């Protein structure tokens, strides 16, 4: 059994949807035993390793937390890991312990002319806790390959290189009315009815676009939930709250001026996940060349609809691409899996990229 496959199975077997400590312990112990790197564990549980020197730094980045497993992915409190038909099944194989394992082995085997870093963050699935903490405490490599999914994007059987992805922001739109007894609706102002003005604005919103490496993709904003102000069923609602999911693109965002201009309407926005755009063509080409040398198919530059920790790193000044084993439709599913050949391919991509630096 290869080191990448064996390590993937070991990491996937360790529960990490509620407490990532044991998974972090396993990563730290493996790096300490199998590499000559300086391995540290920060205050929130991130595992960061460094080896080599140079005037540039490259980081191989992942996360070891996972979303809660489905019932069939559990055996008591343990995670079920199986291998069949050339694939490894289990919570976290695709998102993203398989890529973490590939990056760990590549980190061990590489001989780069730069400082090489490995980082596995905690809390990616719950708001990027680990990446945020690391960045705030000085983790700012020059370049990073984030191992989120990029396989089967352009062509089945090919692992591509993501040069941009969308971000995410959340908004709450509160519409105010006046409460009254439901038997006398004319005595109040129904906030739910008034919210139609907000929906009319959404029907006319313009969504920005961005063009990266000749590819154009757009943002979006969708009302995903509507709730009242907690009033009883026999009362005219004095408040209606709408939750909005916005997907952003590099350099642009939806304008909400038309909403804030409405009377009795408030818009509250939360910091979200920033979009990512690779700002160095040479680095993108280096990783693409590394990917091409690692597989028979022809990888391409692609766009990713989902936000990743690459957005946070890029905002802090790190030049990023995304390249990893997960295929569309695998992450967060009850049948989550990753191809054994793809895990080995990702190892070769990361190794090639590190050596080309």
Catalytic positions, written as ranges: 65, 124
Residue 8 · residue 62 · CB < 8 Å: no
Residue 291: what are its φ and ψ, rounded to 5°? -70, -40
Q: Which residues contact 143 (CB under 8 A, 6 or more apart)?
A: 56, 57, 58, 59, 280, 283, 318, 319, 320, 357
Q: How far lies 177's CA from each of 111, 174, 193, 256, 299, in Å?
A: 66, 10, 9, 21, 55
Question: With the CA atoms of 188, 193, 195 and 196 taken in that order, what torsion angle do they form, in degrees rounded to the nearest 10?
Answer: -140
Burial of 255 (0-12, 13-18, 19+ CB in 10 A): exposed
**Euclidean distance between CA atoms 222 and 233, whole angstroms:** 27
Q: Nearest 5°: CA angle at 267, between 264 and 271?
A: 165
């Amino acid at each position: 059994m290869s080191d990448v496959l064996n390590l993937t199975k070991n990491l996937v077997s360790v529960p990490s949807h509620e407490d990532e400590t044991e998974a972090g312990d396993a990563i730290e112990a493996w790096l300490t035993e199998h590499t000559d790197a300086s391995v540290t564990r920060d205050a929130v549980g991130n595992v960061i390793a460094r080896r080599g020197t140079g005037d540039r730094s490259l980081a191989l980045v992942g996360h070891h937390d996972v979303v809660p497993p489905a019932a069939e992915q559990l055996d008591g409190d343990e995670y079920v890991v199986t291998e069949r038909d050339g694939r490894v099944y289990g919570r976290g194989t695709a998102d993203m312990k398989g890529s973490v394992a590939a990056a760990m082995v590549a980190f061990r085997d590489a001989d780069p002319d730069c400082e090489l870093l490995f980082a596995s963050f905690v809390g990616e699935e719950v708001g990027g806790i680990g990446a945020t903490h690391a960045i705030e405490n000085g983790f700012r490599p020059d370049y990073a390959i984030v191992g989120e999914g990029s396989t089967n994007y352009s062509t089945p059987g090919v692992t591509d290189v993501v040069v941009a992805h969308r971000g995410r922001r959340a908004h709450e739109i509160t519409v105010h009315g006046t409460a009254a007894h439901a038997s006398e609706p004319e005595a109040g102002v129904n906030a739910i009815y008034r919210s139609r003005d907000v929906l009319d604005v959404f029907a006319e919103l313009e969504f920005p676009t961005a063009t990266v490496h000749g590819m154009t993709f757009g943002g979006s904003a969708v009302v995903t939930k509507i709730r009242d102000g907690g009033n009883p069923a026999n009362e005219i609602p004095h408040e209606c709250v709408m939750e909005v999911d916005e997907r952003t693109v590099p350099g642009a965002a939806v304008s909400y001026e038309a909403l804030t201009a409405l009377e009795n309407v408030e818009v509250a926005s939360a910091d979200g996940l920033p979009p990512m755009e690779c700002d160095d063509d040479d680095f993108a080409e280096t990783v693409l060349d590394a990917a091409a040398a690692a597989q028979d198919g022809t990888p391409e530059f692609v766009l990713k609809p989902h936000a990743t920790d690459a957005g946070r790193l890029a905002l802090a000044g790190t030049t990023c691409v995304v390249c990893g084993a997960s295929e569309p439709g695998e992450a967060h599913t009850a049948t989550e899996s990753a191809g054994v050949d793809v895990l080995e391919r990702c190892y070769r991509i990361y190794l090639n990229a590190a050596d080309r630096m």
